[in-house]
Amino acid sequence: MKDQRTKQRKKQSRQPNSGVKQSKAIEQPLEKGRYITGLDGLRAIAVLAVIAYHLNFEWAAGGLLGVTVFFVLSGYLITDLLVAEFVTTNTINFKNFWIRRARRLLPAMFTMLLVVVTYVTLFEPEMLQKLEKDTVAAILYVSNWWYIFQDLSYFESFGPPSLLTHFWSLAVEEQFYILWPLIIIVMLKIKVREGSLFSMILAGALVSAAAMTLLYEPGADPSRVYYGTDTRVFSLLLGASLAVIWPSRKLSTSLPPEIRWKLDFVGLSALAFVFYMFWGTSQYEDFLYQGGMVAISVASMLVVAVMVHPSSRLNTWLSFKPLRWIGVRSYGIYLWHFPVIVLTSPQWGADAPSLFRTTFQMVLILVLASLSWTFIENPIRKGALTRFCRVVKRGEWRRERSFIGRFVTIACILGAFMSVSAIGFTTTSVALSKDKVITAIQDKVGKEEPPTENKVSPVPKPDAPKKVEKPAEERAEKPSDETPSEEEPSQDEAPAEEKPPVQDSRSLTVIGDSVMIDVTPHLEEVFPNAKVDAKIGRQFREAEDIVQQKKSSGSLGEIVVIELGANGPLAEKKMHALIKEIGDRNIYMITTRVPKPWQKEVNDTIKSVAGNYKNVKVVDWFTKSESHPEYIGNDGVHLTKTGAKTYADYLLKHID
């Protein structure tokens, strides 16, 4: 026994130096492989916050910050694992690390993609074209950069979003998993001291946070800084820096009672701040991108630091079984939640959440995630694939019939999904090829209308601004049967066929989004010289460039109407810049009605800015359409025939 202890001491004395000049607190592992159950509770809180945000609950306007909590936790756990391995072996086995990550992440992801693509192929084929490209980006873990280069907003899309928008965060994490082990081993190999390593990682986090602050433009769409690996990696790095100075495996199990209370108080206070950020902030607040995300990352660091300590009671409190159940399945829940919400919400979730629909969505998300965990993730995590290969190699078919049967059944089901998905993508490719041929023929023959002046690239697919032609039947259509308001001109009360509207020869330019497309025919009855530049999904920030182009070509009218804001918030300074660019022309700004969080902000900004200019008038469509559901379509923003006619009449009444 004595010889054995002597050999052990000699073995430890020969153990390779970790490379990190460590303090006594982190020299000897306390408990190898300690599973911290409370972290599952933290995962559950984070994923539920994200789901509440995507369900459009007003009390969870900051729920998107749940992803930030995930980033901090991932940065901590991965770095804790890598440093522990290096301390023990003086190296990091990259192959094993990446295989473990792939085994944990890829099976559930591929299963979800197969099911979603199959469903879309069978029931929502119009979504296949977009889904095909997004799926490739998702598989390659570059979704965040794909969305940036496609100018696809995370916040401002009123139309149907991508079913895989949420893959941006998985892409950020996977990019970190690929690069971070390579960086950390270099630091450890050159024997960087613990304090220096912590400072270097912290400096990297500060650079990333500064990039977010500098690239963020107040009031504009923040998607670039929200998606970017460069502007989001600070959360992962903050978690990583904590792992260097606070490794979970080497913390003391015994603390005096007064210290334990202080530890728990810090953790609870930090967790309360995280909850406040979920509830009290929103994606449009400048503070969020100018320090707010750093603040919640630091708070998440403190929560993790307390929870991984073996003397913490916070870990016990968050080990509540229902939370743990959700937390264990949080990856699958995150994978499934967004496509489920999009595919089961009317008009892609444009309206407010309902109790029945929300309950159905939550149950469906949990069921799918549970099935994924039970039949895909957990078996593969425990070596089901390795076992299957061993059975095949040894020919032990009879002894493992039940296992083989389950494996083959799951493989057949996934194979069926894959076949349908392949058919769907093939059909889409053929349809796109036909569209290209037709487009080429049309371009060769030539179109009736001259090329558009607007060269602004739309999101996500370029569409030329539309000069909308009104059908003949709409030209003869009678006005709405509803009683006009008292202030409306008397000519609106006369039927169109009895008394045609008096035409106005002045030049009119209208810049708008898809709402204006429906209104255009009615405007042209009064303004035959109207030039309407309307496009689906247009953002307010595009308007200034459009005005500049029209001014340079001499096509900007003496009257300018701006109908924008349905697709996202607008910056006050952008509106001032637009008005100054238009000049002394008569300008009419139309308020918006859209069941989205930015509605009030947009309308308040329009009214506030317009009040500073004598040549700018507000056409308050929001107030006009209040309590008139017959004006608005099922999506809550686009117009019915009655609504389009009323909208046009209301606008024309305001034009002097």
pLDDT, greater one: 519 or 489: 519
Cis peptide before 465 (omega within 30 of 0): no
Query: At 352, is the pLDDT very low, low, confident or very high (cuts 50, 70, 90)?
Result: low
Q: How many CB atoms lie within 10 A of CB 525?
A: 18
Beta bridge partners of 536: none
Answer whether 195's CB lies under 8 Å from 177's CB. Answer: no
Beta bridge partners of 330: none
Distance of alpha carbon 516 from alpha carbon 520, whole angstroms? 6
Q: What confidence tens digit (pLDDT) does each residue in 175-227 have?
A: 999 999 999 999 999 988 889 999 999 999 999 999 999 999 876 778 999 99
Spans of all domains in the chain:
36-99+169-351, 472-654
Per the CATH hierarchy, to which homologous superfamily does domain 472-654 belong? SGNH hydrolase (3.40.50.1110)
- The pLDDT of residue 1 is 46
pLDDT, greater one: 278 or 499: 278
What's the mean pLDDT in 408-423?
58
Nearest Cα residue to 301 out of 192, 202, 180, 173: 202
DSSP three-state, residue 416: helix
Any idea which of 9-13, 89-93, 294-298, 586-590 has the lowest mean pLDDT? Answer: 9-13
For CA atoms 272, 338, 602, 151, the dihedral sign is positive
Any idea which of 197-201, 331-335, 402-406, 518-522 has the lowest mean pLDDT? Answer: 402-406
Active site residue 337: no
Query: What order of strands is seen across the sheet that includes strand 586-590?
Result: 531-534, 508-512, 559-563, 586-590, 616-619
Active site residue 635: yes
Q: How far is CA 419 from CA 148, 385, 422, 429, in A?
A: 31, 22, 5, 15
- Which residues are CB-neighbours of 179 under 8 A, at least 6 positions away? none
Beta bridge partners of 292: none
Distance of alpha carbon 574 from alpha carbon 523, whole angstroms? 27
Tell how strand 508-512 and strand 531-534 pair up: parallel
For CA atoms 30, 31, 33, 38, the dihedral sign is negative
Nearest Cα residue to 595 out of 618, 546, 629: 629
pLDDT at 478 over 50: no
- The pLDDT of residue 636 is 76
What's the mean pLDDT in 102-131?
89
On the CB side of 167, how many CA atoms lie within 13 Å of its CA? Answer: 29
pLDDT at 156 over 70: no
Q: What is the CA radius of gyration of the chain?
A: 30
What's the mean pLDDT in 459-469?
41
Q: What confidence tens digit (pLDDT) does each residue in 297-326 have?
A: 999 999 999 999 998 899 999 999 999 999
Helices (H), 150-190: 167-189
Q: Which of 221, 300, 638, 649 is catalytic?
A: 638
The percentage of residues in the chain with a pLDDT greater than 90, rounded to a whole number, is 52
Give the pair of three-digit tokens for residue 466. Answer: 């539309």
Nearest Cα residue to 621 out of 635, 596, 639, 597: 639
Any idea which of 154-158, 348-352, 647-651 has the lowest mean pLDDT? Answer: 348-352
| Mean pLDDT estimate for the chain | 81
Nearest Cα residue to 61 out of 430, 596, 617: 596
The percentage of residues in the chain with a pLDDT greater than 70, rounded to a whole number, is 75
Query: At 439, is the pLDDT very low, low, confident or very high (cuts 50, 70, 90)?
Result: very low
Query: At 450, is the pLDDT very low, low, confident or very high (cuts 50, 70, 90)?
Result: very low
Q: What confidence tens digit (pLDDT) does each residue in 601-641 have?
A: 899 999 999 999 999 999 999 999 998 989 988 777 889 99
Instruction: Spell out a b/e string for 273-286, using b for 16 or more CB atoms within 10 Å of the CB, else e.
Output: bbeebbbebbbbee
- The pLDDT of residue 570 is 81
Q: What confidence tens digit (pLDDT) does each residue in 172-188 have?
A: 999 999 999 999 999 99
Give the pair of three-digit tokens for residue 324. Answer: 């743990």
Cβ neighbourhood burial of 607 (10 Å; 0-12, 13-18, 19+): middle
Nearest Cα residue to 644 out of 547, 523, 468, 539: 523
Q: How many CB atoms lie within 10 A of CB 404?
A: 16
Q: Which of 345, 421, 514, 625 is catalytic?
A: 514
- The pLDDT of residue 32 is 52
